[in-house]
Structure 1
Amino acid sequence: MDLPAVQRSSEWSPGLIATAGIVAVSTLGFLLFDSRGTTAPPGLHVDEDALDLGTVWARSDFQWTVPVENRSSRTIVVSHVEASCACTNVKPSSFTLRPTSRQQLALRLNLFPPTGVTPGYITNFGVSLDFRDENGRRIAQKTLHGRVRYPLVGSPVITYYGPDQLVEHTPGLEKRCELRRDYELTDVILGEHDFPGTARLEKAGVGSTVWLSVRPFDGLRPGRFEYDIPLVGILEDGTHLPDFPVRINGWVGADVKLVPSRLSLPLARIGETVRMTVQVHSQSGEPLRVKEAAALTDAVAVTLLDEEAAGGPLYEVSKTINAGGAVDDNVRFIFEKHDGTGGSITAAVRSYGLATGETSR
């Protein structure tokens, strides 16, 4: 299949690239507006061939130019050009056209779906462009349409969340995603990336499955992370297709935790005071300093017992029982490590007050 090259492209700031995905008709049921059926006041004209992209390979930075002509006898002021999805950026977004004059609109589109999941090898898509005046009224509406072709199909996302959360100073778990490649691809290779870890590609036969396996390096800083690893499809004639990004994201937890992790005070009667010891523990053994330890409710007290204890500072959590039944209070510890990084831990403290005559839960 011959795929048309991007024509009439123009260069402008990459900072204007939209980050959401293209609206896919076949999967999202997006209603296409027929530009030839526009009933707005006559004047703005766009040739049909400028609105038809044909079939193009998916890319995150697709550039296209749409010439708009004023065929009326009056001056038309366009205060805003509004695209139907955030995947499209239009430059300029406002302009004035005298009779018979033209304006070139430079469009930049992200042709990947917003979910990252590629719905099929070839998918119809459409984006409507609303031309509005200074009062927000629609002057005209035109629809950019075509078909996008994906070199790989599947869910190109690897996520480290939930039970697979990474812990700082703990070697990362290896995870992988599976993708199916277009039959015209003779090979798929890894592109250049800055992912702080290892990435390797396994491939079955031509037109079959590829697997991307990743393992983050030890020592990722705590907090959220997000990286793209590009896969590059190669056609039989040696053509390298645009990057197909696989998103690696997740959360690195700090190597600091409370011991015990569940804070449950002993059973007690109303009016009695109960206590337990808790340690702010560094799993890596690196020294840390607790900058603040406090209860988030007045019913609980937090007292420092030993700041220099092996493994981390020791604290006493105490409460005078003032009600029967189970009650949850919260405590928070804000810590700082020797390298200047830090964080906080908030934990629930469960207490249980025994009613008169009650001996156990």
Structure 2
Amino acid sequence: MRMSDWQRCPAAPSGGALSSRRLIGALALVVVTATCLGVTKLLSSVSRAAHPLWIKPAELDFGEIWAQRDFRWSIHVQNRGSETVTVSDVFLSCGCQGTVRPRSFAVPAGQRREVQLTLDLIAPEAAAGAERRVSLPIVFRLSEDMGVARFVLRGTVRDALKVAPRVIQFGQSLQEGGRSRGHRLTVQALVPLKTLQAEVHPPIGTVCIRRRASNERGYGVTFSPAANLPPGPLAAVLQLHGVTEDGQRIPPYPVPIEGTVVADIRAVPERLDLGVRIVGELAEGTVVLQSLAGRSFAVTRVSLCPPEKDALSATVEPPAEQAAAIHRLHVRLRVRRGHNDALMRVSVRCLESLKPRIMEIPINAYGYDSDSFHQRQY
């Protein structure tokens, strides 16, 4: 039986033809490999020639340190080129908290410049661990023809404490002259500690530390603000210091303290608006001073600015120097044409405090002529 042409199998190549094909393939592979290596070397040389800045490898490794809020480290940037290199900006590209100084400078050929870094190496609560390796990319922005220079600062950071919450926030719960409940922190030591110490800067309260019975490395830290804090914003830092079993003092773990101390004595209204009046009319109003805690206080002095007795006057009820929890200030103003702006300064003194407090209450009115066609507004 004769097989058709399409059923026939192609003849196998001879040994010589197969060897030739293998040789050609091998030569092609060598050519491609050589080309790739050449391109790689070319790109590598171009990358190395992109900028002449250099930093000693030892300065890019800070070794093993304890976690801390303000870790200071210096690096020296050397210019190995033949021309001056201008650095327009230096920054950390990892989103890390820290500062770089100076941010811009020039490095002459063959010289070097010192760059100081201040880094926040306190780990987020979820990432805190006994030991962690960190890599901090540092980017130098150069002139347009050079692009950027990148270096990586590496090291090992040891976390000694895990604190929750990480901020003591009182909001507006603090009242002048009153005692407030303390704010409690939960502290977990990640390494064996001999003692845990705490201090507040500035000293605006007291700290109590107790070791938890159920956890030999657990602590309860309670901060209680002082009762004599003045009204206004509250800003302080609670520093937690751990001391290891061999006596090594660990850098402080800072916990910010925030809030507002609300004044005990307040004025209602805080601004006395006597409205729009006819010129020459006698406008009257009352401001009430009241202690939120119901404490007795005295109004020691009332001064008016401008001090025009014929146009502006104020009387106190009860009379000055008498102690009471509520005082009323009756204000009378002889209205003049246009804006009538004044300021009443009231000196008050609580019986528990010898230091008086000055309160400022703005007073305003507007005067117009009765025969005018239009009543002018503010």
Give the match for residue 208 of structure 1. 217
1:36-185 alignment runs, 5 A limit: 41-84=50-93, 87-112=97-122, 117=125, 119-121=127-129, 122-133=131-142, 138-154=147-163, 155-162=165-172, 165-185=173-193
Residue 146 (structure 1) shift: 3.4
Gap regions ≥5 residues in structure 2: 1-45, 270-285, 305-313, 331-343, 350-354, 363-378
Q: What is the aligned counterpart of 1:314 among 311, 328, 332?
A: 328
Residue 213 (structure 1) shift: 1.0
Give me the whole-angstrom Cα distance separating, in 2, the residues matched to 1:134 and 1:335. Answer: 61
Gap regions ≥5 residues in structure 1: 1-36, 261-276, 293-303, 317-332, 347-361
Q: Which has the higher helix share?
A: 2
Give the match for residue 248 of structure 1. 257
TM-score, scaled to structure 1: 0.61
Deviations 1:102-149 (A, max 9, x none): 333232223236xx8574124554433222246798431223233432
How has the CA–CA distance of structure 1 residues 100 and 169 changed in structure 2, closer, same or farther, with 3 Å as cutoff? Answer: same
TM-score, scaled to structure 2: 0.58
Amino acid at match of 2:90: V
Q: What RMSD in Å do the two structures reach over aligned CA positions?
A: 4.0
Give the match for residue 229 of structure 1. 238
Q: What is the aligned counterpart of 1:219 among 199, 222, 228?
A: 228
Moved more, 304-313 or 215-224: 304-313
Amino acid at match of 1:311: A
Local SS of the residue matching 1:231: strand
Give me the whole-angstrom Cα distance separating, in 1, the residues matched to 2:261 and 2:145. Answer: 46
Moved more, 214-223 or 59-68: 59-68
Give me the whole-angstrom Cα distance separating, in 2, the residues matched to 1:135 and 1:341. Answer: 60
How many pairs were matched up? Answer: 270
Local SS of the residue matching 1:81: strand
Identity %: 27
Give the match for residue 284 of structure 1. 295
Amino acid at match of 1:341: R
- Point out the structure with max Rg over C-alpha: 2
Local SS of the residue matching 1:241: coil
Amino acid at match of 1:98: P
Give me the whole-angstrom Cα distance separating, in 2, the residues matched to 1:291 and 1:229. Answer: 41
Amino acid at match of 1:188: L
Give me the whole-angstrom Cα distance separating, in 1, the residues matched to 2:111 and 2:287. Answer: 76
Q: Which has the higher contact order (CA 8 A, sep 6+)?
A: 1
Q: Is the 8 A contact 1:40 1:138 kept in 2?
A: no
Q: Is the 8 A contact 1:259 1:279 kept in 2?
A: yes
Amino acid at match of 1:103: R
Q: Is the 8 A contact 2:200 2:236 kept in 1?
A: no
How has the CA–CA distance of structure 1 residues 215 and 290 changed in structure 2, closer, same or farther, with 3 Å as cutoff? Answer: farther
Give me the whole-angstrom Cα distance separating, in 2, the residues matched to 1:95 and 1:54. Answer: 28
Deviations 1:212-236 (A, max 9, x none): 1121222110011122222211222
Deviations 1:316-349 (A, max 9, x none): 9xxxxxxxxxxxxxxxx98543445345799xxx
Give the match for residue 188 of structure 1. 196
Moved more, 146-155 or 118-127: 118-127
Amino acid at match of 1:285: S
Amino acid at match of 1:312: I
How has the CA–CA distance of structure 1 residues 257 and 94 changed in structure 2, closer, same or farther, with 3 Å as cutoff? Answer: closer
Deviations 1:87-116 (A, max 9, x none): 323334333333443333232223236xx8
